[in-house]
A = this chain, B = another copy of it.
Amino acid sequence: MPAFNIVPFVSVENMMRLVHAVGIEALLTRLAAAIAEDFAQWHAFHKTPRIAAHSPDGVIELMPTSDGTTYGFKYVNGHPSNTVGGRQTVTAFGVLADVGNGYPVLITEMTLLTALRTAATSALAARHLARPNSRTMAVIGNGAQAEFQALAFRALLGVDALRLYDIDPAATRKCLRNLAGLGFDLTACTNTAEALRGADIVTTVTADKRNAVILGDNLVGEGVHVNAVGGDCPGKTELAPEVLRRADLFVEYEPQTRIEGEIQQLAPDHPVTELWRVLAGDALGRTDPRQITVFDSVGFAIEDFSALRTVRDLLAEYPYYEDLDLLADPDDPRDLFGMLQRARPPRPAA
């Protein structure tokens, strides 16, 4: 039995080992299954919109949730200008804890894990919202999230043709380089319209922090599924409102998406469907091949919870973690001071 003071910690290096040991696509599939399972238990979760501390440079957020047995939260920042100094725009770490005694049971990096769970959530939604046999996806925005989306859509939907576009050609080149040799049919495009040609699915995942029109109304044809990932905070959207008005809209958690998602551009009573209802069989996903569907993804705490518990479970099989001496654990719980006193180093002899 482990000592009470020890909490398993998954570093970035160990997370990468874990991902490769399981296999990226196998892990994405497993994450999607965990998210589907937790979304189907929607009412068991204590849900709260993220707690954000905004500043001129960005935002720091805490995203807690609990299913009554296990508690999880993620710390995540969003600082668009970080790349100038060589830092990530978004970094994250997360904690899982036992509701029964409040003790943390896992601390892990979540920058990589968030990229994986975001892609897994997108693909999970698309499995219910994209046309069956969708094989071609346009990826608008070829930054840090792009390749994860690509692999998730292949793992879950069989998408194997990608049409890539980014306002910065270097990003597209990076994406092509990373995906080369992985069995995709890859096409670099010089504008959004070209990227959308023949696409069954459009993933928008740009990093611009403003109300941009990445996807104009005239570009989105019948039957397309739009996986809108990049618009995820107040003032940051990617889709023309006309696209949203022509589409059936699916969201993670309506109160949060109204504030942070693409639908912040619409009337507050514009109808949307929460994804969990589709997964639970309470609502329909796509019903018509000509229908336009939009998954207005902003990222929700339950997805992080699902990811955290998946990592916790995997550690039993793949022990890629270190022991962190995080919690004071005196022999007598009331004797915290005695523990401290007994740790006093002996005085050097005079």
A residues lining the B interface (CB < 8 Å): 4-5, 9, 11-13, 16-17, 19-20, 24, 46, 48, 51, 53, 55, 57-60, 62, 64, 66, 68, 71, 73, 75, 77-79, 82-83, 85-89, 91, 93, 95, 97, 99-104, 109, 111-112, 115, 143-148, 171, 174, 177-178, 324-330, 332-341, 343-345
Contacts and interface: CB of A to CB of B under 8 A. Distances in A.
Given A111-B327, A324-B11, A102 B78 contact: yes
A147 B97 contact: no
27 contacts: A4-B87, A13-B325, A13-B343, A16-B340, A24-B340, A51-B51, A51-B62, A51-B64, A58-B102, A59-B102, A60-B71, A62-B73, A75-B95, A79-B102, A82-B102, A86-B333, A88-B333, A91-B102, A109-B325, A111-B327, A115-B336, A115-B337, A144-B335, A146-B337, A171-B334, A178-B338, A178-B341
A174 to B, nearest CB: 6
Contacts of A97: 60, 75, 77
B57 A99 contact: yes
Given A16-B339, A17-B345, 20 more contacts: A11-B324, A11-B325, A13-B325, A20-B344, A24-B340, A57-B101, A60-B71, A60-B99, A62-B64, A62-B73, A73-B75, A78-B102, A82-B101, A87-B333, A109-B326, A111-B336, A112-B340, A145-B336, A178-B335, A178-B337
A100 to B, nearest CB: 5
Q: How many copies does the complex hold?
A: 2
Contact of A327 (B12, B83, B178, B338): B12
Contact of A53 (B24, B46, B146, B178): B46
Nearest to A335: B174
A329 B57 CA distance: 19
Contact of A91 (B11, B16, B112, B327): B327
